[in-house]
Copies of this chain bind each other. A is one copy, B any other.
Amino acid sequence: MSNFGFTDLRLVNPYEVAFREARSAVKSQKILENAREFPTLAEAVADCSLIVGTTSRGRRALEHPLRRLELGGRLIKKHAGPAALLFGSEKFGLSNADMSHCHWLLRIPTREEHGSMNLGQSVAVCLYELIRNPAAAKATPEARRAARAADLDRLTELLAQALDQAGYVHRQESTRLKLRRLIRRMDLNAHDAEVWLGMLRQILWKFSAASDSPRK
């Protein structure tokens, strides 16, 4: 809840009051401190105008509309007014009596063979769907400064020289074209092109130093 910015936790007749001491919730103390307990579900949701229950696929004959999270999340976001999202106990889920308070039910699209989810994970997945920003999926990847052609040409030249000195290839025009394409496929950003230029310069320096040094 805290990760995704939800703060209004309500508990119906909790068996353990120990929930307040939850240790792992380092940054969530406020939510736990402000959590309210209610003797009945009706009282817990009295001020809400949309009540949505969560259930795993096909747990029982459902008398309610059952919506997948993708659609249900959209409807909850569209709802004008306070909405309650109900989660049952880890073991039994929501009872039929609990569900009768709901306008409709929501299911996380788990696979059929393993429908029932861990409670904390269910809550995280549902709340993620509610804060999920569809526009963010379409965003272009982060701005990157691609290397300029001049740097890539210089890179091609230095790589060809290094390979030549290493005896890898003869300096043929067809090889030069292959190297040029190879380097374009690397899709280097400006910074990485600089790094490569530096590495190749060093290699070339080492070659020239080695060939200059007197041999025994």
Shortest CB-to-CB span from A189 to chain B, Å, is 10
- CB atoms of A142 and B66 under 8 A apart: yes
Interface readout for A134-165 with B: 1 if CB under 8 Å, 0 if not? 10111101101000000000000000000000
Shortest CB-to-CB span from A144 to chain B, Å, is 7
Residues of B near A28 (CB, < 8 A) are: 114
- CB atoms of A70 and B2 under 8 A apart: no
Q: Which of A90-148 contact B (CB under 8 A)?
A: 108-111, 113-118, 120-125, 128-129, 131-134, 136-139, 141-142, 144
- CB atoms of B3 and A144 under 8 A apart: no
How many copies of the shown chain assemble into the complex?
2
Residues of B near A132 (CB, < 8 A) are: 69-70, 109, 129
Residues of B near A171 (CB, < 8 A) are: none
Which of B108, B114, B133 is in CB contact (< 8 Å) with A70? B133
Interface readout for A21-40 with B: 1 if CB under 8 Å, 0 if not? 00010011000000000000
Shortest CB-to-CB span from A39 to chain B, Å, is 29
Residues of B near A73 (CB, < 8 A) are: 137
CB within 8 Å for A128 and B131 given contacts A27-B114, A67-B142, A111-B4: no
- CB atoms of A120 and B117 under 8 A apart: no
Residues of B near A109 (CB, < 8 A) are: 128, 131-133, 136
- CB atoms of B66 and A137 under 8 A apart: no
Which of B5, B116, B125 is in CB contact (< 8 Å) with A125? B125
Residues of B near A120 (CB, < 8 A) are: 118, 120-121
Q: Which of A73-88 contact B (CB under 8 A)?
A: 73-74
- CB atoms of B134 and A70 under 8 A apart: yes
Residues of B near A139 (CB, < 8 A) are: 68, 71
Once bound together, how far apart are the Cα atoms of A115 and B109, in whole Å?
Answer: 25
- CB atoms of A3 and B128 under 8 A apart: no
Question: Is A58 in the interface zone, CB < 8 Å from B?
Answer: no
Residues of B near A3 (CB, < 8 A) are: 108, 110-111, 114-115, 117, 121
User: A-side interface residues toward B, CB under 8 Å?
Assistant: 2-5, 24, 27-28, 65-71, 73-74, 108-111, 113-118, 120-125, 128-129, 131-134, 136-139, 141-142, 144
